[in-house]
Structure 1
Amino acid sequence: MTTIYFIRHGQSEANSKGIIQGHADFPLSELGMRQAELAGKWFANVELDAIYASDLGRAMVTADHIAVHQDLKVQSWPRLREVGLGPLEGKTREEMAIDFPQLKAEALLTSGIQGTEPVKNLTERCAHLVEKMTRTHPDGSIAAVSHGGFIGIFLTYMIAGTDWYKMNRPFMIGNTGITKVSLSQTGKAAIHYTNRTEHLDIEGNLLHSSTIAY
């Protein structure tokens, strides 16, 4: 059985300003750095065999805070990137609504707008993730630092397979939210929990930020 802890990156400067990121690279905010530090401390009590991260800076920096507490090097893996959103990237939701009014009735991550990442690519990414993790770490415990949109898609893929895009994705993943999934060697999943953020509770002060994921 392969155990994967998915972690969304800490709050980025774009998150704090309501800017859509996709593949655009924005650094962590001051709050995001603190969130990443606290997530790293939470993993000090978890035995990991490997740490993977999206190659985008906000994920790599978050992963580095986890690696501080493990005798492991972060492995950059572009397949863990956020969904590519092409012409939507760098816009606020208000700007997007003006430039692409049709999105008011469409799911942002699967809109099909030219220049955004196709469903086929996302499905292939999910399938490759399952294949690689179960083959490379058949009995391992892995941390995978990724992004809210992609984590939600992967969880839906684990439930619905290649029809995931037809479903309403119910998962809300906050900054540094931790999700635990087990995969059998045949690729069947058990979702233990999603979006755990108790590591952000510092003396009753929750260091939460927006759950807007993209």
Structure 2
Amino acid sequence: MILYLIRHGQSVANESGVLQGCKEFPLSGLGQKQAELLGDFFASKAIDFIYSSDLIRAFDTAQSISHHHPIEVNKWDKIREVGLGPLEGKTRKELHLQFPELKDIPSILTTGIEGTETVEEITTRCKYVVEQLLVGHRRDKVVLVSHGGFISIFLMYLMFGENWNDIHRPFIIGNTGVSKIEFTDSNKPIFHYINNDSHLVSGNVPNESILY
């Protein structure tokens, strides 16, 4: 299986510095342009299936790829962004005022604050996604359009399994950044590239790495 992991284009929340999580925000004007260039990038690539997070910013980005292929975008809630509960819809400044303990927590994705998605829940999602892909798409070329937080964790899960949260997570996934992973017959992943944004560079479109 060839798997493409893609973050959505810039959203209006990315643009204004608001933490999203699973809260709905549409693509910004820049995000729409990024999505168009992403679609052009995939126009000449062979694809068998396209899956998207059920959040609108990811689905609209995925649609830009399907415009170049006779393939319907399938919404999949298992690849939506990490749930951040009471942290969603707030700026970093607002977060630090309401939750001062966040200043000492290394990742906003795994704070342990009540109402946020737990490490165990995220791990279960990652495991399920891998299992379903390997069962249903072993010989296919699959696109998953998801979110920066989930993708960065999913990459760690592919590398380290259930111990992913014990290891420093080094990935920054920019808007419409593309990561390509190949699964061998032994189900071991090979990483061709991470966060490729050459389509934006060639289109002279900025890609600020604003997370989540």
Deviates more, 1:181-190 or 1:135-144: 181-190
Displacement of 1:12 after TM fit?
0.1
* Number of equivalenced pairs: 211
Q: Deviations over 1:148-170 (max 9, x none)?
A: 00000000111111010111110
Q: What is the CA–CA distance in structure 2 between the aligned matches of 1:123 and 1:185, rounded to whole Å? A: 23
Q: Which residue does 2:194 correspond to in 1?
A: 194
1:168 corresponds to 2:181 = no
Q: Which residue does 2:137 correspond to in 1?
A: 137
Q: What is the CA–CA distance in structure 2 between the aligned matches of 1:130 and 1:112, rounded to whole Å? A: 24
Q: What is the CA–CA distance in structure 2 between the aligned matches of 1:186 and 1:16, rounded to whole Å? A: 42
Q: Which residue does 2:49 correspond to in 1?
A: 50
Stretches of structure 2 lacking an aligned partner (at least 5 in a row): none
Q: Secondary structure at the match of 1:201?
A: helix
Q: Is the Cα contact below 8 Å between 1:130 and 1:187 reproduced in 2? A: no
Q: How does 1:9-48 map to 2 (within 5 A)?
A: 9-48=8-47
Q: Is the Cα contact below 8 Å between 1:134 and 1:185 reproduced in 2? A: no
| TM-score using structure 1 length | 0.96
Q: CA RMSD in A?
A: 1.1
Q: What is the CA–CA distance in structure 2 between the aligned matches of 1:171 and 1:17, rounded to whole Å? A: 22
Kindly provide the amino acid, as one letter, of the partner of residue 90 in structure 1. G
Q: What is the CA–CA distance in structure 1 between the aligned matches of 2:103 and 2:5, rounded to whole Å? A: 29
Q: What is the CA–CA distance in structure 2 between the aligned matches of 1:194 and 1:28, rounded to whole Å? A: 22
Deviates more, 1:99-108 or 1:111-120: 99-108
Q: Which residue does 1:119 correspond to in 2?
A: 119
Q: Which residue does 1:211 correspond to in 2?
A: 209
Displacement of 1:139 after TM fit?
0.7
Deviates more, 1:132-141 or 1:49-58: 132-141
Q: Deviations over 1:26-67 (max 9, x none)?
A: 000000000001000100011001000000000000000000
Q: What is the CA–CA distance in structure 2 between the aligned matches of 1:94 and 1:11, rounded to whole Å? A: 20
Stretches of structure 1 lacking an aligned partner (at least 5 in a row): none
Q: Is the Cα contact below 8 Å between 2:200 and 2:207 reproduced in 1? A: no
Q: Is the Cα contact below 8 Å between 1:134 and 1:184 reproduced in 2? A: no
Displacement of 1:108 after TM fit?
0.8
Q: Deviations over 1:112-153 (max 9, x none)?
A: 000000111110111111111111111110010000000000
> Between the two proteins, what is the percent identity of the paired residues?
48
Q: Which residue does 1:70 correspond to in 2?
A: 69
Q: What is the CA–CA distance in structure 2 between the aligned matches of 1:178 and 1:202, rounded to whole Å? A: 15
Q: Which residue does 1:184 correspond to in 2?
A: 184
Q: Secondary structure at the match of 1:70?
A: coil
Q: What is the CA–CA distance in structure 1 between the aligned matches of 2:64 and 2:149, rounded to whole Å? A: 21
Displacement of 1:185 after TM fit?
4.7
